[in-house]
Amino acid sequence: MEIRFSEYSEPLFDDKESRDLDRKTILETGISGSHLMGFAALSIYQHYRKKILRSDSVFILCGNGNNGGDGLALAFFLIQEGKESKVFLKEGNLSEESTYYKNLLLRAGGKILNLESDPLFFEGENICIIDALLGTGFQPPIREPYGEVLEKIQKQKRKSPKRTFILSLDVLSGFSEELPTPFEADALAEIGMKKWRNRFLPNEIKKTFHRIGFPIKKKDDPNSESGTGKILWKKIPDSYLKECLKRKEDSHKYKNGSLLLIGGSQGMAGAALSSVLAFHELGGGISLLLSPSEKTVRAVLKKDPSLMIDRIEDSSEILSRPFVKKASVFLFGPGLKTEECPILEIPNDKFCILDAGALAAYKEKILHEKVLMTPHTGELEMLLNQKIKTVSEGISLAKDYAKSFRVQILWKRHSSFLIDPRGNLFFWEKPEPKLAVMGTGDLLAGILAFFLSRGFSIPESTQLSFSLLTNAAKRSKGFPTASGIRKLLQKGGI
């Protein structure tokens, strides 16, 4: 069973790319802008119909951009259902599409109030507020009258949180990844394409996605004609994960994956052991653990005498070992002190994961594209020699580092980024709170090593690893330890 990874990923678009695709769709497909606006409003109406119709009062707040046009179109479709809404529209020139729906709404008997001069009071016991104020053209800071309106929305939500439902159309007005959320929305209806900025919204905001006909082609290459260089990963389905863990009847230990792991300084044997056991429990065939500590060697053999482990005597001889020459993947760092990490010329044909203590040791070494560094935020700041103030800044600096040192970087966060030397970015946005526990980084390293040893690329292995690890954590009872999560990996976390 072959995994078509392109089916489980989607391109992400920044604000400019979103507007460009909108214009391109209108020019190349012949679909009018008013049709697209209508498709968006109908799709949102159908999804949120029951929620909106159950409200005592519906307020639709519209800017004078096309985001406001979506709000006007939604108000028009609501009035056809006999649900009149209070529509507030900012003064200013409207696009042809927005004007079209404004006129339709007025002809249908709807009323439009002035956002700047008419009083805005949220009245009713159960209130629905539709935010269609600011779209992808927004650039900080928030200006008036929007600042005052957003403040009123926030006050209403805080005054009556359970009886106020706030739905933002396409983007949350006034939000950027560098600023705090201006108000507490309940839901976001993302229209046409998935937006980069929306990935940074609080997890509590429920996102729905509404396809309206934009020609977004799915290709494996993020740099393809329709690619943006930013890819959003979806979870790989359970059936594929199970298939990846199967061994063929005629398989042998090297074919099932071979790993050289260097780690386990004195007192830190557990980290190295956790990584190597994760590798084997998933189905990895053979491994060699090299440790600078004699105590670690004894502790590992006591835990499992079948494991291959040896003391590092002379680091210059590591690459000449017969097993090392045949190993398909190197993993350096779990439970390893930086000063005890051997500095090797990593062969170009070997996948290599640099984790934990190995990161500082290889910090300024030119490597190659089969090398994956796996820093958390503090370790990434160490690699970059500076504090990361914002996510955007961190990504930009990590791209520069990956290009300069020819490595791939997996920035581990509650939601994580993989960045390659060409500047492509892959995003995993499914944070799992059960993974916020000591030792899950060692598990991830062992899982990555397993998938790389089975012939998957670094992006594929990372997507598979996150899918598997998240599965195992979600299906574990309570808040498990890393070893508790590892026990579920043998079943694919299923």
| Res. 218: pLDDT tops 70 | no
The mean per-residue pLDDT over the stretch 45-69 comes to 96
| Residue-range domain boundaries for the chain | 5-218, 232-490
Looking at residue 339, its pLDDT comes to 97
| Res. 335: pLDDT tops 60 | yes
| Residue 406 Ramachandran class (φ > 0 left, ψ -120 to 50 alpha, else beta) | left
Q: Which residues contact 291 (CB under 8 A, 6 or more apart)?
A: 262, 263, 264, 265, 269, 272, 297, 300, 309, 310, 311, 312
Q: Is the sign of the CA dihedral 430, 433, 436, 440 positive or negative?
A: negative
| Res. 220: pLDDT tops 50 | no
The mean per-residue pLDDT over the stretch 459-470 comes to 95
Residue 64's alpha-carbon distances to 115, 120, 203, 420, 460, in angstroms, are 10, 17, 29, 40, 43
The mean per-residue pLDDT over the stretch 111-136 comes to 96
| Res. 57: pLDDT tops 70 | yes
| Confidence band, pLDDT 50/70/90 cuts, at residue 225 | very low
Beta strands 187-191; 206-210: pairing state: parallel
Looking at residue 491, its pLDDT comes to 62
Average pLDDT of the chain is 91
Residue identified by tokens 């006909």 is 213
The mean per-residue pLDDT over the stretch 351-376 comes to 97
The beta strand positions in 179-257, using DSSP E, are 187-191, 194-195, 206-210, 230-233
Question: Residue 467, CB half-sphere, CA atoms under 13 Å: how many?
Answer: 22
The mean per-residue pLDDT over the stretch 123-148 comes to 94
* Tens-digit pLDDT profile for residues 157-174: 999 999 999 999 999 999
The mean per-residue pLDDT over the stretch 310-319 comes to 93
Greater model confidence, 474 or 9: 9
Domain 5-218 has CATH 3.40.50.2300: no
Q: Which residues contact 189 (CB under 8 A, 6 or more apart)?
A: 43, 44, 47, 48, 167, 168, 169, 170, 208, 210
| pTM (predicted TM-score) | 0.89
* Tens-digit pLDDT profile for residues 420-441: 999 999 999 887 877 877 789 9
Longest dimension (CA), the chain: 86
| Res. 26: pLDDT tops 90 | no
Looking at residue 36, its pLDDT comes to 92
What's the CA gap between 12 and 29, in Å, rounded? 21
CATH number of 232-490: 3.40.1190.20
| Res. 81: pLDDT tops 60 | yes
Q: 183, 154 in Cβ contact below 8 A?
A: yes
What's the CA gap between 344 and 316, in Å, rounded? 8
Looking at residue 330, its pLDDT comes to 98
| Res. 19: pLDDT tops 90 | no
| Res. 298: pLDDT tops 60 | yes
| Res. 492: pLDDT tops 60 | no
Q: 307, 287 in Cβ contact below 8 A?
A: yes
Q: Can you name the residues that pair with 316 across neighbouring β-strands?
A: none
The mean per-residue pLDDT over the stretch 336-345 comes to 97
| Confidence band, pLDDT 50/70/90 cuts, at residue 222 | very low
| Res. 224: pLDDT tops 90 | no
| Residue 177 Ramachandran class (φ > 0 left, ψ -120 to 50 alpha, else beta) | alpha
What's the CA gap between 412 and 28, in Å, rounded? 40
